[in-house]
Amino acid sequence: MREYLKFYIDGKWVEPTELKTLDVENPATEQVVGQIALGNATDVDKAVKAARKAFATWSQTSREERLEVLGRILAEYQKRFGDLATAVTEEMGAPSSLAQRAQVPIGMGHLATAAEILKTFKFEDDRGPTMIVKEPIGVCAFITPWNWPLNQIVCKVAPAIATGCTMVLKPSEVAPFSGYIFAEIMHAAGVPAGVFNLVNGDGPTVGAAMASHPDVDMVSFTGSTRAGIEVAKAAAPTVKRVAQELGGKSPNIVLDDDAFAKGVGRGVAAMMPNSGQSCNAPSRMLVPSKRMDEAITVAREAASQVTVGDPNGNSQLGPVVNKTQFDKIQKLIQKGIDEGATLVIGGVGRPEGLDKGYYVKPTVFANVTNDMTIAREEIFGPVLSILGYETLDQAIDIGNDTEYGLAAYVQAGDLEKARKVASRLRAGQVSINGGGGDLTAPFGGYKMSGNGREWGDYAFHEFLETKAVLGYAPKQAAE
């Protein structure tokens, strides 16, 4: 049983101002495996004050000093690799293979990428008599989700450290173990007191207090669009910067060519990892209507190969994160059946042989229309909807017919045609034929999928203010 009942504030582990605890459940066993303390506005205020105090000196550190700190964080992170992987599996059900292959390594990737970018990042732009300067924005509040916990923590913390900001982190209360270990890593790495602070808690209490705090200069939030709207409302009176990475309902357009079957199979394979709990999952597959039957055959076969079970075993999919998510997914699967979509494989209920744990059957629907609930709402589970199109123009129109715009996908044998389709899709990131894995590529969305960009050098700009210093150099007299 894990007990994480303290917060990390000003370089020390401190007691909450009022002890209120929350049980943390292992979604594979439905058993309580830990307990955290829930903070309040007073705890947030203490953390923000520590961050504000630290900003005075941390913001003035040199590039070399910050590179050294990033290097120490990465070294300590690597030492705790196994602990982090175990925590992620326990708190949110990621298979141990996924935790070790992706969930934990991506945090290392963000740290290394930030360090590499920092080496040559241009903080000053000499324009003759005027100097344009990029300066750290100040105290940042980070509110992160449970589905890729370390990815979302580190892709915020690393560029914030690199640019000279200080911060307060609220990891998800649903999956808080890895965030707590990350705070231990920051302490072991000797990050100066107050630069990094952690307060556990829920969104309506701690998240709202962070977003509304007058001494917080910037909020970076990852989560649902509904919660993101509340964060923006809370931040509005203090006119602070708000960066958001929110929901998605990403289209995956499979073109009518010789690569069709491969594209359909690739789309199923991309939808299922992490039990479909990825905001950029390709959840709407668009195929030529005349090839719908072929798509059904390929998708059924691909989905039937996906194994579900104990995340500590050899299964490809573990459970979804909790009962709330499980129940939501079950209702949406039933909604798809009720609204007339063709159930290709999967459906309601747990997979056969699993009577405990929040396991969901890998599910594929075909003959879905874009007005159906399963084509409009973000399901956040291993559920794929296949829609038909008559022309490529119609496919693009359907793909863009969503309130979201986080990601999009194109599968094609003709690369040039795929590029043209990609240019017309309204999304922050478009993947062609399975392309991905670039940690320097900006990540973020159009429309209700958010604003701002994370990852790589684009992330640095989110944490910087722009100052123009006029008269920096005297104008040269005319010859």
Q: Supply the residues annotated as catalytic.
A: 245, 279
Q: Which amino acid is at 58?
A: W
Contacts of 31 (CB under 8 A, 6+ apart): 25
Contact 79, 98 (CB under 8 A): no
Q: What is the DSSP string of 161-214?
A: HHHT-EEEEE--SSS-HHHHHHHHHHHHTTPPTTTEEE----IIIIIHHHHH-T
Rounded Cα distance, 168 and 212, in Å: 13
Q: What number of residues does the chain have?
A: 479
| Helix 149-163 vs helix 105-120: crossing angle, to nearest 10 | 20
Contact 158, 111 (CB under 8 A): yes
> Long-range contacts: 37-40, Cβ < 8 Å, 24+?
37/4, 37/5, 37/6, 37/7, 37/200, 38/173, 38/200, 38/201, 38/202, 38/205, 38/206, 39/7, 39/170, 39/199, 39/200, 39/201, 39/205, 39/206, 40/16, 40/201, 40/205, 40/206, 40/209
